[in-house]
Amino acid sequence: MFLRKQLASLLFFASILFVSVSAPLSAQSAAQPAAPSVFGYGDFTAQAKIEEKFLAVPDAKQAGEELKILTAEPHLASSPEDHKTAEYVARKFRAAGLDTEIVPFRVLLNQPRVVRVEAYDASGKQLMSGPTREHVEGDPFQDDPRVVMPFNGSSGSGDVTAEVVYANYGRLEDFDQLAARHIDLHGKIVLARYGGNFRGVKVYIAEKRGAAGVLIYSDPQDDGFTKGDAYPDGPWRPETGVQRGSVQFMFEYPGDPETPGVASTLDLPDSARVSPYGSQPHIISIPISYHDASPILQAMQGPGVPPGWQGGLGFRYHIGAAEGQGTVKVHLVSQQDYQRRIIWDVIGKIKGTEYPDDWVVIGNHRDAWVYGAVDPSSGTAAMLEAVHGIGALLKQGWRPRRTIVFCSWDAEEEGLVGSTEWVEQNAKALERAAAYFNMDVGVAGPDFSAAAVPSLKQFIRELTHSVPSPLGGTVFQQWRIKSAGENEHRRSNAPPEPGEEVHVGDLGSGSDFTPFLQHIGVPSADISSGGPYGVYHSVFDNYAWFVQNADPKFEFLQEMARVFGLEALRMADADVLPYDEVAYARSISYYIDAAKRRAADQGLSLDFSAAQAAVTRLSAAAQHIHGLQAAATGDLARLNATLRQAETDLTNGAGLPNRPWFKHTIYAPGEFTGYAAVVIPGVNEALDSKDQPRAAQQLMVLTQALDRAAQTLEGAR
């Protein structure tokens, strides 16, 4: 507590130093003291008053109470407790005046019946038998009988015994190192640590290389005692803590594995469903703690590990699986109960007065692996306080100009299921949606961060000037202090971007913005307030941990409620959609240049000139429309439709080669990274596989998309 206060005052003084640099807003507000100039608004005076009223409402104490209620019981997707949280959120939405419905879907989900792990050394001596129950001294939540045993969503079922091979993080380069050492994975069990990529990618590559099963454990080096004190003494992962999680191949397509591109409504006939193996592994995978992984790793022999593979446990790691060198065998049992189960999204609408068909969608998932205090309930509590604030405006007679749609998604953890099915159901209407704003891990600590499409990056930066930070000053000021430290470590080959005073990341996957952006082309953003967080997807991500480590006074919940609500308010009421197409063109230009250098490095002869000409044309068209947006006069409805169309123009109906569900030409989750974005994915993934004809064809697809967007923007009056 003392430390944090001291830090706050230090940061406050530091922020004063920055105030004069906080350029565009302060310069313009000096000339026009009553109303700062805000991009997208001709005159911001009236909106500034509305925002002020909104910002006064979200309440820290109430957010804390909402968090306590949401996390009172484990609420795995499709459980009775999950349904209770849906009803709670629906009641809150209705109390605020939102037109609310609970939207059910029937989707394929697994729940574990039996999960067992045993290990034996070369002499047949048993090394361990698990999984060991998650347990620490004094945690009040860990003993609830409804806590689901650690398992992987989308895991296969089976019973296998095989030699175990250590594969570090299970990244493509890790598997390639094993291959280079002639270690055959056929029929083996891969032991990989969490980190470095999405867990589904570990299983995906292991399966491709012939493995019979995967064990994924949390190494203390990555989120345990190497980082700092473990729970209950600190925020990091304790010895028995396990990261549950989905291993669905979400980079193929997310959502219900049986219905890609189709909504799994209750009346969808079974004949409309396809095999789930388009996005599901066949093999078993089981998540374990380092308490259970340690005896296996310690007994493994064979070659020593390459540099970077040694983890934080107190012995030398080995790859294992060298014939005759005392191999360790593991016995895995996984019985998964696959059923088509009911899940519940909660959807609350406020009809827009001027553009009722243009939706501003804002959402957060509600389901949790266990209690989910940080992931996702902190986001839900913040969303409920944003709804509280908007409800107060409604009671004073305010109505948004565009329709605002608040969404509480279900079954995000299993594979973005609730959001994907809803997006597939509403695909047509969403072609007009102005934006999708996501929050998942709302609050794990005090560090604000954001990721967005380039057209929304400046919008996010700008609105954080209006929200106070619990650390002093504004959210923007604190964000920039933090970001300045991080910038030193960023790659220097990125050209400096004007307005890039703080870094806004790119959207890959791993949360509910994926269907909006990457399937439909809705401009999207994601915000979070991070910190030391070692209990992700374990029983210990609960209210006791949250109050001790993340946000004891719930003031960051209040901050996130304000930022989240302001995203919706400012977008819904804008005269002109505040998309920064100039920034978009600049980013795309950078991506194309980088791909060109890669192709040259690989010795591929590819002609990038058409793509470069198209992005130059897009950039000029973006400058043209930027002027019209700033003037905010004339036929604004038409200008808005043009801006929105240009975002759709960046999608390609055919989708990516081999991944047709992913239709965006600029952003997709990586096939081998999962969470991290691959930019201009069609081109870059063709370069990854050194496939020159495909790269040329994908360059053409990209060029056509850029030309479409340029032509649309050029037509603006």
Q: Which residues bind Zn ion (CB under 5 A)?
A: 375-376, 440
Closest CA to 317 of 189, 164, 197: 164
Judged by CB, which is closer to Zn ion: 376, or 534?
376
Identify residue 486 by its one-letter amino acid code. E
Residue 376 beta carbon to Zn ion: minimum distance, rounded to whole angstroms: 4
CA distances from 203 to 209, 210, 318, 392, 524 (A): 10, 11, 20, 48, 29
Judged by CB, which is closer to Zn ion: 287, or 472?
287
CA pair distance 685, 199, nearest whole angstrom: 20
* Residue 356 preceded by cis peptide, ω within 30: no
CA distances from 327 to 215, 219, 300 (A): 16, 21, 6
Residue 375 beta carbon to Zn ion: minimum distance, rounded to whole angstroms: 4
Judged by CB, which is closer to Zn ion: 375, or 647?
375
Judged by CB, which is closer to Zn ion: 334, or 438?
438
Residue 367 beta carbon to Zn ion: minimum distance, rounded to whole angstroms: 8
Residue 713 beta carbon to Zn ion: minimum distance, rounded to whole angstroms: 35
CA pair distance 171, 608, nearest whole angstrom: 30
Judged by CB, which is closer to Zn ion: 199, or 596?
199
Which residues pair with residue 70 across a beta bridge? none
Judged by CB, which is closer to Zn ion: 155, or 528?
528
Judged by CB, which is closer to Zn ion: 511, or 619?
511
Q: Give the largest CA-CA distance in the chain.
A: 83
Judged by CB, which is closer to Zn ion: 219, or 375?
375
Judged by CB, which is closer to Zn ion: 360, or 439?
439
* Residue 630, H or E segment: helix 609-631
φ, ψ of residue 427 in degrees (nearest 5): -55, -45
Residue 417 beta carbon to Zn ion: minimum distance, rounded to whole angstroms: 12
Q: What 3-state class would DSSP assign to 701?
A: helix
Residues 38, 644, 358: CA angle, nearest 5 degrees: 85
Residue 255 gets which letter from DSSP?
S
CA distances from 146 to 130, 269, 333, 544, 629 (A): 19, 32, 21, 18, 54
Tallying the residues shown for the chain, one arrives at 717
Angle between helices 581-601 and 609-631 (to 10 degrees): 170
Q: What 3-state class would DSSP assign to 679?
A: strand
Q: Do the beta carbons of residue 51 and residue 342 sit within 8 Å?
A: no
Q: Do the beta carbons of residue 239 and residue 216 sit within 8 Å?
A: no
Q: Do the beta carbons of residue 579 and residue 639 sit within 8 Å?
A: no
Q: What 3-state class would DSSP assign to 668?
A: strand
φ, ψ of residue 356 in degrees (nearest 5): -60, -25
**Residue spans of alpha helices (H) in 396-430:** 412-415, 417-425, 427-430
CA distances from 293 to 164, 240, 329, 366 (A): 11, 10, 13, 31
Judged by CB, which is closer to Zn ion: 36, or 674?
674
Q: Which residue has the tokens 């000409």?
A: 613
Kindly give the pairing relationship between strand 447-452 and strand 435-443.
unpaired
Judged by CB, which is closer to Zn ion: 321, or 539?
539
CA dihedral sign of residues 183, 184, 187, 191: positive
Q: Do the beta carbons of residue 202 and residue 194 sit within 8 Å?
A: no
**Residue spans of alpha helices (H) in 36-79:** 45-55, 60-70
Q: Do the beta carbons of residue 330 and residue 164 sit within 8 Å?
A: yes
Closest CA to 459 of 348, 573, 614, 383: 573
Closest CA to 563 of 399, 452, 434, 418: 452
Residue 253 beta carbon to Zn ion: minimum distance, rounded to whole angstroms: 19
Using DSSP, how many helices (H) and how many strands (E) does the chain show? 23, 16
Residue 494 beta carbon to Zn ion: minimum distance, rounded to whole angstroms: 29
CA pair distance 585, 590, nearest whole angstrom: 9
Residue 363 beta carbon to Zn ion: minimum distance, rounded to whole angstroms: 12
**Residue spans of alpha helices (H) in 283-416:** 290-299, 379-395, 412-415
Residue 372 beta carbon to Zn ion: minimum distance, rounded to whole angstroms: 7
Residue 380 beta carbon to Zn ion: minimum distance, rounded to whole angstroms: 10
Residue 416 beta carbon to Zn ion: minimum distance, rounded to whole angstroms: 10
Task: Locate 468 and state its tokens.
Answer: 């106070």
Residue 177 beta carbon to Zn ion: minimum distance, rounded to whole angstroms: 31
φ, ψ of residue 152 in degrees (nearest 5): -105, 125
Active-site amino acid positions: 412, 609, 664
Judged by CB, which is closer to Zn ion: 150, or 376?
376
Task: Locate 662 and state its tokens.
Answer: 């992913």
Judged by CB, which is closer to Zn ion: 300, or 417?
417
Residue 412 beta carbon to Zn ion: minimum distance, rounded to whole angstroms: 6
